[in-house]
Amino acid sequence: MSRRLGHVDRVGVEERVAQLGTRSIKTTAKQQGIRLAVSMVDLTTLEGADTPGKVRNLCAKGVCPAPNIPEIPSVAAICVYPSLVATARAALQGSGVKTASVATGFPAGQVSLEAKLRDTEDAVAAGADEIDMVISREAFLAGDDARVQQEIARIKDACGEAHLKVILETAELGSYDHIRHASMLAMEAGADFIKTSTGKASSGATPGVCLVMLEAIRDYGDRTGRVVGFKAAGGVSTSKEALKRLVLVKETLGDEWLTPDRIRIGASSLLNDLLLQYAKTETGRYGRPEDFSKE
């Protein structure tokens, strides 16, 4: 069957996000927004040099990001490679912070389906609560929607109880029409969350991309009644940018979506900027990066 794309107007999308980008978030709104953003962070480390020691440090940071600011909540999850899931899981025991793992030949996804399934099963067996998979962009761009969906469905099965976040890698899809289409494919195939990027591509969770995916989530929810979450990842590294993403959620999906059960922000350097900006709202002074631990 040939592919039928829905219509998304690029100019209209960009005008809408530009307008929402002018929302003024000050005083108490800024404080609450920053706390909310912290609670949604999937604190991430995805480097070849990751070690159990580094992951344990990151977990401690995620559970209690700012020991001297008690009102700052824990992050939502710690996101690591499959080989470090067991370490993270042990470090997070009893904290309420979830263990998330990338899988499926992250970030390119250019391995066989069998390898992707095995990767996923390993991560789940090691105790991952959440799996971040990547779609096969080569299949999507070649027009093979069926293969994209079959892979997602198979991996969803392999996840068992674990939540599945499906990364579209929007920078490689080429247009908003494609991003909306890929969002729908992923949701129909069983995604619990749809996610913008691996963080390894040329761009990530731009406001326009986020808006198009949030609108797809809303329309899919209207049609099926199923709630699918959204994860913005890639390029959201400042408080200002994080708050702009929350504005998009608030004004597209509504206040009931402003919870870490439904919205995540994947990031490594964002957390410390959130803490710095929060401290600034308290003290009126800009802090220094050294005020908070790196990990």
Partner 1 sequence: MTTEQQRTSIVWDYAPAPEATDHVRLADRYGIFIDGAFRDPAESRYEPTLNPATEQPIAEIAWAGAADVTAAIDSARAAQPKWAALPDRDRAKYLFRIARLIQERARELAVVETLDGGKPLRESRDVDIPLAAAHFFHYAGWADKLRYGVNAREVAPLGVVGQIVPWNFPLLMAAWKLAPALACGNTAILKPAETTPLTALLLAEICQEAELPEGVVSVLPGGGDTGATLVRAPGIDKIAFTGSTAVGRDIQAALAGRPTSLTLELGGKSANIVFEDAALDQAVEGIVNGIFFNQGHVCCAGSRLLIQESVLDEVIAKLWRRMGRLRVGDPLDKNTDVGAINSAEQLQRIETLVAAGEGEGAHRRTIACDLPEHGYWFAPTLFTDVSPAHRIAVEEIFGPVVSVLSFRTQAEAIEKANNSRYGLAAGIWTDKGAKAFEVANALRAGVVWQNTYNHFDPTAAFGGYKESGFGREGGPAGLRPYLKVVR
Determine whether 50 is an active site residue: no
Among 2, 22, 112, 283, binds partner 1 (CB under 8 A): 22
Q: Measure CA 65 to chain center.
A: 19
Determine whether 144 is an active site residue: no
Among 2, 24, 68, 202, binds partner 1 (CB under 8 A): 24
Peptide bond into 107 cis (omega under 30): yes
Closest CB to partner 1 among residues 28, 112: 28
Among 3, 21, 29, 143, binds partner 1 (CB under 8 A): 29
Q: Report the alpha-carbon distance of residue 54 to residue 80 in Å, rounded.
A: 11
The neighbouring-strand residues paired with 230 are 194, 263
Which among 98, 116, 231, 244 is annotated as catalytic?
231
Q: Report the alpha-carbon distance of residue 73 to residue 71 in Å, rounded.
A: 6
Alpha-carbon Rg of the chain, whole angstroms?
Answer: 18
**Per rule CB under 8 A, is residue 4 in the interface with partner 1?**
no
Q: CB-based contacts of 183: which residues, under 8 Å, 6+ apart?
A: 168, 194, 212, 213, 216, 217, 220
Closest CB to partner 1 among residues 64, 113: 64
**Per rule CB under 8 A, is residue 282 in the interface with partner 1?**
no
Closest CB to partner 1 among residues 177, 188: 177
What is the number of other CB atoms lying within 10 angstroms of the CB of residue 225?
7
**Per rule CB under 8 A, is residue 215 in the interface with partner 1?**
yes
Helix, strand, or coil (residue 100): strand
Determine whether 98 is an active site residue: no
Q: Which positions from 231 to 270 touch partner 1 by CB under 8 A, shown as an x/- string? A: ---------------x---xx--xx--xxxx---------
Q: What angle do CA 6, 9, 10 make, to 5 degrees?
A: 125
Binding site for partner 1 (CB under 8 A): 6-9, 11-13, 15-16, 22-30, 32-33, 35-36, 39, 63, 71, 73-74, 76, 95-97, 215, 222, 246, 250-251, 254-255, 258-261
